[in-house]
């Protein structure tokens, strides 16, 4: 799985439900391995930010699709400094606000939006010249990069996911209770499950259940899967 500047990067695809730790774990794994890190959810959030700012009704599918040609999106792959821009404006912090979280599912379930952004994700990976890239989000293992040499479904019990997300938010300007976070996670899962199956591993996808694992143990479990795949390919 080793690569150089003249070969394709090793692609690690990580799927999972809301609050499963996809982003934080993927970022940590990328940092340890010296890989790039691609948060696909940021693109949906950025598009929701553009839709909201344009005064478009996010439930109007035609209007949402119509704004795609004006969606000039960039994201950095450095796991330590992820900068997101839309039409040249830095929206890294803006896309994490509660109003964006409330809007993103409506935008993400538009089929043409998913097709458009999936093409964008593949082009970003194709233009990556680091040894590898960890790409995480919804339907990554089955639709975006189904041929990735390493595909992982990261999950945990709903109560655990809610508690972790609540703790994560308590360290930011957004403070919510675990109960409220649980309601948000259930709503997000219910909405997104209408579009993609992120709770069941497809054939060839390794499931890692982090319910009884702490953060470091989860990162180690993911790295072990990557190393096992590396050894298998080199055998």
Q: Quick check: is 125 in a domain?
A: yes
Whichever domain contains 158, its CATH number is: 3.40.50.300
pLDDT at 216 over 80: yes
Burial class from Cβ neighbours inside 10 Å (0-12, 13-18, 19+) for residue 148 reads buried
Binding residues: 16-24
Q: Quick check: is 196 in a domain?
A: yes
Q: Total domain count for the chain?
A: 1
Q: How many CB atoms are located within 10 Å of the residue 43 CB? A: 26
**Could you report the per-residue pLDDT of 92-143, keeping only the tens digit for each?**
999 999 899 889 989 999 999 999 999 999 999 999 888 999 999 988 999 9
pLDDT at 34 over 50: yes
Which has more pLDDT, 167 or 82? Answer: 82
Q: Quick check: is 156 in a domain?
A: yes
CA distance 62 to 56: 10
Q: What's the pLDDT at 178?
A: 46
Q: What's the pLDDT at 106?
A: 93
Compute the average pLDDT of residues 50-75: 96
Mean pLDDT rounded to a whole number for the chain: 85
Q: Quick check: is 5 in a domain?
A: no
Q: What is the DSSP letter of 202?
A: P
Which has the closest alpha carbon to 35: 170, 112, 134?
134
Q: How confident is the model at residue 224 (pLDDT cuts 50, 70, 90)?
A: very high
Q: What's the pLDDT at 174?
A: 46
Q: What is the largest CA-CA distance in the chain?
A: 55
Binding residues for ATP: 16-24
Q: Quick check: is 235 in a domain?
A: no
Can you give the pTM of this predicted structure?
A: 0.82
Q: What's the pLDDT at 165?
A: 65
**Could you report the per-residue pLDDT of 155-170, keeping only the tens digit for each?**
988 888 887 766 665 4
Q: What's the pLDDT at 66?
A: 97
Q: What's the pLDDT at 166?
A: 62
**Domain limits at 217?**
10-230
Q: What's the pLDDT at 164?
A: 72
């Amino acid at each position: 799985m080793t690569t150089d500047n003249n070969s394709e990067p090793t692609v690690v695809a990580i799927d999972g439900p809301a609050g499963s730790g996809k982003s934080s774990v993927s970022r940590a794994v990328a940092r340890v391995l010296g890989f790039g890190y691609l948060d696909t959810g940021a693109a949906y959030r950025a598009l929701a930010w553009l839709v909201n700012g344009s005064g478009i009704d996010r439930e109007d599918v035609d209007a949402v699709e119509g704004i795609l040609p004006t969606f000039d999106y960039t994201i950095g792959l450095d796991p330590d400094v992820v900068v997101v821009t839309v039409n040249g404006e830095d929206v890294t912090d803006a896309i994490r606000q509660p109003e964006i979280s409330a809007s993103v599912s409506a935008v993400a379930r538009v089929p043409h939006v998913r097709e458009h952004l999936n093409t964008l994700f593949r082009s970003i990976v194709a233009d990556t010249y680091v040894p590898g890239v960890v790409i995480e989000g919804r339907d990554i293992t089955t639709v975006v990069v189904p041929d990735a040499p390493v595909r992982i479904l990261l999950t945990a019990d709903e109560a655990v996911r809610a508690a972790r997300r609540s703790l994560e938010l308590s360290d930011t300007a957004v403070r919510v209770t675990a109960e409220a976070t649980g309601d948000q996670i259930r709503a997000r899962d219910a909405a997104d499950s209408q579009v993609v199956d992120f709770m069941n591993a497809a054939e060839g996808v390794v499931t890692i259940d982090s319910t009884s694992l702490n953060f470091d143990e989860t990162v180690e479990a993911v790295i072990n899967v990557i190393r096992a795949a590396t050894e298998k390919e080199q055998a």
